[in-house]
Structure 1
């Protein structure tokens, strides 16, 4: 199987490449460039596609919503048209986001795929629109499309733009004597649903093979983790003692105090369940930062 992978250089893309050797788009190719994308897809002639590429930084989507829509919605349309013009007859996996649900009342947790989508930022809006586009194409084009809504990822190689990866970096800097034993944090009394990136990619692999055409699947652990507890676990694993200081610049109004989702649909159709324990994810993250900081 020849797999076309968009977003190959990102955090998740690198894990997809390791699990499913594929052909990335040529370096520097912009999804907004219809002609270049069409030529690249025609040259690759893939049997399957994993579409990860996106503008996924929420603050940037507020600063420039048009650019976010151009990449995430029109970029997806360009890819679909390029696949169609190349005679593609395989399966495509579209990677959306759990952020598309917006604010979910606690009574509705764990969130399931039939929950209304109420996106609250331009990034999430662009993903709702692109997912709807993919559903339409799954029904009217000559190829099949499966859509996923992944929740929070964790694992080695993640950028310190993300809270747990940032805490792991700070903890390791303290252990190596490079920073005072004070951790700078934002709001750590919220809960989130975290899945190890390697489990996420295994879900993508299984869905590409067994997912229903036009099907939409949450990819999540089904477990609710308090950020404060994960921070304590990082400190324990690293053998570090530190005080925790709330940094006002890291505080974002967290409307969603609790979040957990259900992976029942994914399990029903593929047999998938998360396998990597949180302790291993955190230890691997610490080890990765230790290597990077040496």
Structure 2
């Protein structure tokens, strides 16, 4: 991919900023699609472009101008609680914007496109009802993308990462709890912190390991395939909270919900395809937690 053009959407988000750093350092020409001017820190080798992915003419103009060889589509909304408050926004940002982008890319049939989905989708056949609007939006997105590929024969691939963690601002449990702990250490935000259940099981992958997987899928993945990305190791939310509190210098009040025990994986969720392509996670989740705490202690996430 060196010297070829890669378009990254959602470039100012948690994963997007890491992705811009990584691919620019490899010598790609990186074009970063962002929603607002100056919302992305200056990164050497990255060309920021302001574009609303729900506006067809804006997307078409951007895509035709840069003529990308590869696209990493990270843009979208990913907060389960927020999706309850504004479900239509989630349909617009996660479904409509994706199809608007794919439609613009029909003029570039050789472009390889990686759409990043979510393990929080639900299976349409065995469980036809969504547990929350975010899940519905990501399920509809994946169905639409796979159908679009068959209809228009574009080089579309999908990735389904498990819970991504690492230094940076995100809506994930680890970042939210780290921010709460650091605020409490600094005498701010002393309210209690709530989790759904200490028994919920989660698989965590560092965002930088996920980006290595995205790179591999873009270069070597098979069009039309869905590639799960996971560590293969589950831990409970209770264990995560305990580990993060041990990294803190303050006691906080925790509220534990009574949600039934759940698992982040199932029998079909395996990274075997990626392992065969040479990928495996490098960063243990304990190291990720330390770096998340350091990020917020060093002033990250402000503004």
Give TM-score, length-normalised by structure 1. Answer: 0.83
CA contact (8 A) 1:221 1:263 kept: no
Residues 102-129 of structure 1: per-residue CA shift (max 9 Å, x gap): 79xxxxxxxxxx9877632222222222
1:100 aligned partner: 121
Length, aligned pairs only: 276
Match of 2:263 among 258, 263, 268: 258
**2:158 maps to 1:147:** yes
Aligned to 1:165: 175
Deviation at 1:27, TM superposition (A): 4.0
CA contact (8 A) 1:183 1:244 kept: yes
Indicate conservation of the 8 Å contact 1:2/1:48, yes or no: yes
Alpha-carbon separation, structure 2, partners of 1:151 and 1:118: 21
Richer in helix (by share): 1
Which residue of the other structure, out of 109, 115, 130, is the alignment partner of 1:119? 130
Bigger shift: 198-207 or 20-29? 20-29
Q: Measure how far apart 1:175 and its partner are.
A: 4.2
Query: Does the alignment pair 1:230 with 2:235?
Result: no
2:76 to 44, 48, 54: 54
| Cα contact 2:213–2:274 (8 A) shared by 1 | no
Select the structure with the greater relative contact order (CA < 8 A; seq sep ≥ 6): 1
- Which position in structure 2 is the counterpart of 1:200? 210
* Structure 1 residues not aligned, in runs of 5+: 104-113
User: Quick one: which of 136, 139, 144 aligns to 1:128?
Assistant: 139
Q: CA deviation at 1:78?
A: 1.0
Higher mean C-alpha displacement, 222-231 vs 20-29 = 20-29
Conservation of the 8 A alpha-carbon contact between 2:181 and 2:252: no
Quick one: which of 254, 266, 270 aligns to 1:245? 254
User: Alpha carbons of 1:122 and 1:101: their partners in 2 closer, same or farther (altered >3 Å)?
Assistant: same
Match of 1:25 among 19, 33, 37: 33
Change in 2 beyond 3 A, CA 1:58/1:272: same
Distance 2:246 2:287 in 1: 13
* Selected match of 2:221 from 195, 206, 211: 211
C-alpha RMSD of the superposition: 2.8
CA contact (8 A) 1:45 1:88 kept: no
Q: Displacement of 1:156 after TM fit?
A: 0.8
- When residues 242 and 209 of structure 1 are mapped into structure 2, their CA distance, relative to the original with a 3 A threshold, is same
Shift of 1:153: 1.1
